[in-house]
Amino acid sequence: MARKTSRGWIDPVGLFTDRGARIKRGFFHPMDRPDDMFWLLVGDVGYGGRSGLLPLAREIVRGLFL
């Protein structure tokens, strides 16, 4: 839904796919627990769980205008 609503601006990736595993290794520290919730990665910042809902809405709107 996020990809369609944002006209492709948001690129959802499954946590347990090969691509998701590569992203987790490259972005998260070994002590992080990225499998516990959804994450929105914007540049070098990660928003997880409920704290990611507002940034997700912002990125959806941003995708509509870009």
pLDDT of amino acid 54? 93
Residue in 51, 60, 46, 57 with CA at minimum distance from that of residue 9: 60
DSSP 8-state assignment for residue 12: -
pLDDT of amino acid 61? 93
pLDDT of amino acid 51? 87
Q: What are the residues facing 39 on neighbouring strands?
A: 48
What would the pLDDT profile of 1-53 be if each residue is shown by its tens digit? 888 888 888 888 888 899 988 988 898 888 888 888 888 888 888 888 888 89
Residue with tokens 């690129």: 11
The type of residue at 2 is A
The domain spans of the chain are 2-65
pTM of the predicted model over 0.75: no
